[in-house]
Amino acid sequence: MSTFNRATLVKVLEILDSSNAGEALAAAKLAATMVREAGLTWDDALASEIRTPALPAPTADRAVGHGPFGYRRDRELSPHEQFFMVLLSPRTPSEIKRKLRSLEARVLDGEITPQETQDLKFMYQSFVVG
């Protein structure tokens, strides 16, 4: 479970209006993951007042922490999740966001190179987790 940021969810949901079907699908998946990992239902997420469920006690083998954008820290994010988080982060410079747009189709199709995957991970660490 994690914290929930409704403003970030709104930004992700605004991408659903994209004319690019792959981008809209990736945004839908990211939104669903954000709600699920916060331990909420869509009814909870859309309610006027969010009541966050109690967090379970961390176990010795798996400490649960709050990651950026409300994601759990106990799993590796996919390249498309990292891509959208870097793109949505206010800390990401405009010129980086413009360069990312050229990668978008290949990220959504899962066709980025290992080097691009590493570059994306570096950008995620620099501009989102930072």
pLDDT above 70 as % of the chain: 76
Q: How many other CB atoms are there within 10 angstroms of residue 120's CB atom?
A: 21
Q: What is the pLDDT of residue 62?
A: 43
pLDDT above 90 as % of the chain: 4
Is the pTM higher than 0.75? no
3-state secondary structure of 56: coil
66, β-bridge pairs: 72
* 101-115: pLDDT as tens digits: 888 888 888 889 999
- 3-state helix, strand and coil shares in percent for the chain, rounded to the nearest 5: 60, 5, 35
Q: What is the pLDDT of residue 63?
A: 45
* 48-91: pLDDT as tens digits: 775 655 555 555 444 444 555 555 556 677 888 888 888 888 88
Inter-residue contact 26 to 108 (CB < 8 Å)? yes
Q: What is the pLDDT of residue 68?
A: 55
The residue type found at 104 is: E
Please state the rounded mean pLDDT for residues 17-40: 84
